[in-house]
Amino acid sequence: MTSDTDFWIQAGQLFPGHGAPPLADQQIQISNGKIAAIEPASRRALSTPPRYVEIIAPGFIDIQINGAGGVLFNDQPDLAALKTISAAARLGGTCHILPTFITAAGQSYKQAMQAVTDAAGLAEILGLHLEGPFLSPERPGIHDARFIRPIEAADIEGLCRFDGRLLLTLAPEHTDTKTIKRLAEAGIILFAGHSAASLEEMAEAAVNGLSGVTHLFNACSQIAARAPGIVGAALTNPRLFAGIIADGHHVHDANLQLAVSQMENRLCLVTDTMPSYRATSTDFMLAGQKITLKDGRLTSEADQLAGAHLGMDEAVRNIIQRTSARPEQALDMASAIPAKILGLEDEYGKIDIGRPASLTCLDRDFHCCGVYVHGTPYRGGSPA
């Protein structure tokens, strides 16, 4: 939905994006859903005082979100679910999402593809993330191992025909080079995840179109003395981006710092959020397992991590508090870098005249207090 109104908002600090430091006391004019002007607040006296916000940043983009607001996308892959999930995500400052459908039986992922096709008119939905089923049986994580399988010709044809933006997480060691190259040439964004790939297998896949790693440090091969694995590949290969879950449970602070220091402009924040986020219930079912929220941590009855429970604003706060990342860097990890991964860097991730007015509003402690999605203001997840 796009706003046709013309109005101004004022920022105590405006973070323009792309690593630029904040500008103090700026006014932003929004017209027809786009940014029409940016100027110091002292330059123009407005007849109606603009809404004041402590911090305005480029709109957050979450490329890995499984559910929110009591809805799991795998259980309800339809337009109604996407609206519920995106509304809940807005409460954490996220303007745009890639709803994530994880490993399931056969080609049931096609339901998720249809749901995203049906959501073509929603500015919040930028595409689809399929996390599986073409993963490694050695690294299933919480995914249902019964449905993990190699990619087949029918899958390849269907995925390449999908008329939308698609991020596909797969295991490179179980996918031949020809297939990786064909998927990449079809415009599919390929990430390695739930994989035991070696450094060499990652390097070969990257040459042929693999561009990133899903939830770095989790469900993937780690660094060993003579086998750097997926983590080593992500830290050292400039071709590769990576998403990371900064919730204080999935990745040790020392590893967060390692990734931040080694992956400048290649590391993005993801929430990996589940239905419990912004919902009344603290438990839900996932692939036949009961998942319970306790002390901010989602686990199965076997105490296995099962997604995360956080908004993007919390991820931003955590990466600032737990690493050396400056606020402008952390905000880029939530906006400019995911936009670049998706090939949308000319639209999102930077506050500039002529771009869509997708903005995240924060208080001085980086808690979300509202968002604008293509000029439409939202507070409390609903249009303001």
Residue carrying structure tokens 């590769």? 240
Sheet arrangement for strand 297-299 = 283-286, 289-294, 297-299
Active site residue 253: no
CA distances from 181 to 160, 332, 383 (A): 12, 29, 42
Question: For residues 116-131, b (16+ Cβ closer than 10 Å) or e, as one string?
Answer: beebeebbbbbbbbbb
Catalytic site residue from 272, 303, 332, 363: 272
Q: For residues 110 and 94, what is the distance between their CA atoms, to the nearest angstrom?
A: 25
List, as one string, the DSSP characters of 91-145.
TTTEEEEEEEEE--STTTHHHHHHHHHHTTT-TTB--EEEE-SS--TT--TTS-G
The encoded tokens of residue 180 equal: 């990786």
Q: For residues 190 and 342, what is the distance between their CA atoms, to the nearest angstrom?
A: 11
Just list the catalytic residues: 272
